[in-house]
C-alpha cells in the first residue's frame, strides 16, 4: 500500500487526477470504477480541466460506479447517476453506452446485481477503482460487518451513514435506507485501487484502514490484502497515523524512482 500525504484537499485532488489520467493515457480503453460523495469532486473538476485544456480522451473508457441509492431514479438530484453526469460525464467525451451505474429502481434486485457482476467480468474487470471512505471505515456502501467476500447486492445503510448523508437532502427522513453496492470482494478484484480521504473527520477511519487489523468492522481494512493500492490523504486525514514520517519517506523514494524512469 502506497500512502501519499498531501498538504491539503486541492493537492490531493490534483494528485488523484494525475494518477487517473496516467491510467487512461497508458491504456485508453481502461475500465474505471468511479466513486461519488464530496471527496472526489475536486478530482473530477481537475479531470474535466485536463480534458478541456489538455485533450485527455475519455472516449474509449468503460465505467462502473460503486453504488446507488435504492429507490432513487436517475433523474433524482440526489441519485448517484445524476451526480456522475452533473460532475463528470456531461463535461468529458465518455461514451454513454459504456457507462454503468446501478439501477436504483431495479424491480428484480437480485437479478440486476448478478448482471452487474457479469458486466464487470465481460468488460475484462476493473483496471482502476476509485474509492472514498466513510467515517466508520466503510468503502462503497459496505457497512461495518459486511463480509469481506461480499458481492454486488442490496444493503441496509447504517444509522451513521444516513446521518452523514443527510446534508445532501432537505431532511434526514428523505435519505434512502437502502442502496445497491459493489461488495468488498468485487472491489478487491480491481487491478489497481485508488482511495481518497480528506479532513480530520476521516482521520480515525484512515488510521484503521492503514494501521489497524483487517476486520469486517472496518471494511476498508480489507485493502491491506490487495497488491496495488494507493491512498491519497491530506494532512488532516493523516493526523492519527502513527507512522506518518515513514509513509512520507517511502513516497519520496518512489518519486525518485519515477523521475529516474522518466529520464
Cell of 32: 474505471
Residues identified as active-site? 67, 136, 138, 143
Residue with cell 428484480: 108
Which of 146, 145, 144, 140 lies closest to 180 in space, CA to CA? 140
In angstroms, rounded to a whole number, what is the distance separating the alpha carbons of residues 161 and 92?
30
Dihedrals phi, psi of 41, to nearest 5 degrees: -60, -45
Q: What is the 3-state secondary structure (H, E, C) of the chain?
A: CEEEEECCHHHHHHHHHHHHHHHHHHCCCCEEEECCCCCCHHHHHHHHHHHHHHCCCCCCCEEEECEEECCCCCCCCCCHHHHHHHHCHHHCCCCHHHEECCCCCCCCHHHHHHHHHHHHHHCCCCCEEEECCCCCCCECCECCCCCCCCCCEEEECCHHHHHHHHHHCCCHHHCCCEEEECCHHHHHCCCEEEEEECCHHHHHHHHHHHHCCCECCEHHHHHHHCCCEEEEEECCCCCCCCCHHHHHHHHHHHHHHHHHHHC
Amino acid at each position: 500500500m502506497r500512502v501519499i500525504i498531501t498538504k491539503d484537499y486541492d493537492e490531493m485532488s490534483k494528485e488523484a487526477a494525475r494518477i487517473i489520467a496516467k491510467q487512461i493515457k497508458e491504456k485508453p480503453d481502461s475500465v474505471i470504477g468511479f466513486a461519488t460523495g464530496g471527496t472526489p469532486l475536486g478530482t473530477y473538476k481537475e479531470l474535466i480541466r485536463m480534458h478541456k485544456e489538455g485533450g485527455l480522451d475519455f472516449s474509449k473508457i468503460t465505467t462502473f460506479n460503486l453504488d446507488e441509492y435504492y429507490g432513487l431514479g436517475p433523474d433524482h438530484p440526489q441519485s448517484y447517476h445524476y451526480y456522475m453526469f452533473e460532475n463528470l460525464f456531461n463535461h468529458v467525451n465518455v461514451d454513454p453506452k459504456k457507462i454503468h451505474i446501478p439501477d436504483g429502481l431495479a424491480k428484480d434486485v437480485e437479478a440486476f446485481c448478478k448482471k452487474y457482476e457479469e458486466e464487470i467480468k465481460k468488460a475484462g474487470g476493473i483496471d482502476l477503482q476509485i474509492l472514498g471512505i466513510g467515517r466508520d471505515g466503510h468503502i462503497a456502501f459496505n457497512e461495518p460487518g459486511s463480509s469481506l467476500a461480499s458481492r454486488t447486492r442490496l444493503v441496509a445503510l447504517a444509522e451513521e451513514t444516513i446521518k452523514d448523508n443527510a446534508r445532501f437532502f432537505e431532511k434526514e427522513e428523505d435519505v434512502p435506507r437502502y442502496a445497491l453496492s459493489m461488495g468488498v470482494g468485487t472491489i478487491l478484484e480491481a487491478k489497481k485501487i485508488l482511495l481518497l480521504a480528506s479532513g480530520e473527520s476521516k482521520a480515525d477511519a484512515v488510521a484503521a484502514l492503514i494501521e489497524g487489523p483487517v476486520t469486517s468492522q472496518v471494511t476498508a481494512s480489507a485493502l491491506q490484502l490487495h497488491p496495488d493500492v494507493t491512498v491519497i490523504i491530506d494532512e488532516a486525514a493523516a493526523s492519527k497515523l502513527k507512522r506518518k514520517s515513514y509513509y512520507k519517506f517511502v513516497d519520496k523514494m518512489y518519486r525518485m524512482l519515477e523521475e529516474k524512469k522518466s529520464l
